[in-house]
Structure 1
Amino acid sequence: MSKTVLVVGASSGIGKKLAEQLVQSGHQVISASRTNPQIAGITHHQLDVTEENPDFSFIPEQLDGLVYCPGTINLKPFNRLSADDFKYDWEVNVLGAIKVLQASFKSLKKSEDGSVVLFSTVASKLGMNFHSSIASAKAAVEGLGKSLAAEWSMHGIRVNILAPSLTDTPLAEKLLGTDDRKDASNKRHPIGRYGKPEDLAQMAAFLLDTKSSWVTGQVIGVDGGVGGLKP
């Protein structure tokens, strides 16, 4: 059955791969981001979630799915992070999600199986050097998602959170810039490789589907085993 899905942050990485997969599966995809992803078959709207009052008039009367993909990577020792660094990570990852969620709520309520997918990071659970700013912001996303999963369950809306490890996206380009870095990143993951955008996109697509209709309030590690295994 065709669904109407809003993907915020479909201009690159995981969001773009997901939007492409959804279109190929016959769904109606609405893209919202600062940059047009240029994907055939989707409807794109300009959106900057860091604005004080973004324009959400493009959201349709009914939404079956919402995926919030924007993220940040600002890896520094804690003592070198400024208050503005923390504020920016919070603004993009948490406040941006809140704005989109509040604007989409009425439309999601009109779906028979509304589903929301948010993104965290394995660092929120694992504890990793130089991740204090992004890990704290993404931990807040996890708390937000689980709270909404409880609150919105009465409306039939499911909310789940994906927590990836290092994934080959434009955000991670500096971390995977050389063959040596790529090899080291592969070795850090029990499954033997770092992530690809399609790894996360496929799980997000499953959570949007009615096949996952009994799954809500979950933080799901899609991380090559790094978050729970020590071989």
Structure 2
Amino acid sequence: MVNNENKLKEMRNYVIIGGSSGIGKEIVAILEKQGANIVATYNNNVLQDKQNIRYIKLDVLSDILNPDDLPEEIHGLAYCPGSINLKPFHRFKEEDFIEDFKLQVLGATKIIQQLLPKMKKSHDSSIVLFSTVAVQTGFSFHSQVAISKGAIEGLTRSLAAELSPGIRVNAVAPSLTNTNLASKFLNTQEKVDAQSQKNPLKKIGEPKDIAEAAVFLLTPGSSWITGQIIHVDGGFSTIKQ
């Protein structure tokens, strides 16, 4: 009985928003192997609960998390929802930018505000957000995504300052990764080969590549890292060939 009680005390609680597909799903899988207690949300991809994983339906634009669905103390939060809308700047309408901003920035802000009291209880928690290499490296047709993700990078640094020392805040900035979100850019072997050749490592990133970095930032192994934008992009943002 004592061993079980100690195990419960040691078990860390994580909330993964958008944990049913892509990078979020991989984060859940890695944390599950580490024996964590996980609450993961989904919008469309319904998954069945497991021993240490509870899935909750959540539309980040309209729903509010029920506190009763969450543990009293939260050690880590990852906000994974995003979008990739690429087209010439002159073709975007005001509502396009606003909808993207709502999903990627206001959605993250709302979730963090809701979970903050439970994260403060742990005195040792971590928030991981997601940016893109397009913020620091200019690309044509990336104005919409760069605006929202640029705001995420600003939010990351600001919250890291405001919430320290009890809560660390970092972001991961990938280049194009093989997820459903990016499928229209990688839906033929020719497109995959072309994108691979642009990367110094000559391959496309996989969800697990990004998830491993996110889990590192979520867990105690990164206890002296905060306010950072970690580029996980195969060298794309720093190595010119």
TM-score by length of structure 1 reads 0.96
Q: Which runs of 4+ in 1 moved over 6 A?
A: none
Match of 2:232 in 1: 222
Q: Deviations over 1:112-162 (max 9, x none)?
A: 3200000000001101111100110000001011100000004x1000000
Match of 1:82 in 2: 93
Separation (CA, whole Å) in 1 of partners of 2:34 and 2:49: 14
Match of 2:25 in 1: 16
Gaps of 5+ in 1: none
- Percent of pairs with identical residues: 46
Aligned-pair distance for 1:101?
A: 0.3
Q: Deviations over 1:85-105 (max 9, x none)?
A: 101110100000000000010
Matches within 5 A, 1:11-160: 11-35=20-44, 36-38=46-48, 40-41=50-51, 42-51=53-62, 54-57=64-67, 58-154=69-165, 156-160=166-170
Separation (CA, whole Å) in 2 of partners of 1:112 and 1:3: 12
Aligned-pair distance for 1:25?
A: 1.1
* Cα contact 1:117–1:162 (8 A) shared by 2: yes
Q: Deviations over 1:174-201 (max 9, x none)?
A: 0001000000010111111111000011
Q: Deviations over 1:65-111 (max 9, x none)?
A: 00000000111110111111101110100000000000010111111
Q: Deviations over 1:30-88 (max 9, x none)?
A: 0122133446331011111111x524422322100000000001111101111111011
* Aligned partner letter, 1:138: K
Separation (CA, whole Å) in 1 of partners of 2:152 and 2:144: 13
Quick one: which of 188, 195, 199 aligns to 1:189? 199
Separation (CA, whole Å) in 2 of partners of 1:38 and 1:174: 28
Separation (CA, whole Å) in 2 of partners of 1:56 and 1:40: 20
Match of 1:4 in 2: 13
Query: Aligned to 1:161, what secondary structure does the other structure show?
Result: strand
Measured on the aligned residues, the alpha-carbon RMSD in Å equals 1.2
Larger radius of gyration: 2
Separation (CA, whole Å) in 1 of partners of 2:47 and 2:153: 27
Size of the aligned set, in residue pairs, is: 229
Query: Aligned to 1:45, what secondary structure does the other structure show?
Result: strand
Match of 1:179 in 2: 189
Change (3 A) 1:81 1:37: farther
Change (3 A) 1:104 1:192: same
* Cα contact 2:65–2:114 (8 A) shared by 1: no
Gaps of 5+ in 2: 1-9
Match of 2:6 in 1: none
* Cα contact 1:16–1:37 (8 A) shared by 2: no
